Structure 1
Amino acid sequence: MKPHVKEILIGLIIGLLANVAGTYLYIFFFSDLDIEDTIKAALANDFLGSLIALGAILNLIVFFIYLKKNQVYRARGVVMATVIAALVILYTKFL
């Protein structure tokens, strides 16, 4: 595997994990329900995409950290993770 492909893959995985962590943190701090009930309510009330979008805010922080460290390939992976999150949001809006 080429070194830059490996770096992009690392950035993609970190970006996806940051999105999941951001969603979890948002639910933990701002929801009265536990995680499972919040996700069920989000599916029932059609705001799952909003939860995912709020979780993607952490990707912004990770992206700028990678740019600051001059790790542009990892930053590209984080952008790819954000695009994947956007596609998931688009899918949930039209489901």
Structure 2
Amino acid sequence: VAHGVHEFQEAGMIPIIVEHVWNINPLLDESSTLGEVLKALFGYNGNPSLIEVASYLGYLAFAVVAMPRLIEMQVNRRPATAQTSLQS
């Protein structure tokens, strides 16, 4: 999600309100081995913009609200009963 937002920011389609909310690259650099793995698996960014952080939080909030409801819908769903007629 945040990577897509970052690309739109680079293209100038989404304004950059705050360029870097934090910078933890001195602790965990994106170009280090661990940083590269985290970036590939989770989209790690050591210095995200405000819009990127907001998109992460929005996605997380949606997932926290939607997932339990989707699971409940699956549990409460009754399997369709197959009606077969045997004719001799």
Higher relative contact order (CA 8 A, sep 6+): 1
Q: TM-score range by the shorter chain?
A: under 0.3
What is the TM-score when the length of structure 1 is the normalising length? 0.26
* Structure with the higher helix share, 1 or 2: 1
What is the TM-score when the length of structure 2 is the normalising length? 0.27
The structure with more radius of gyration? 2
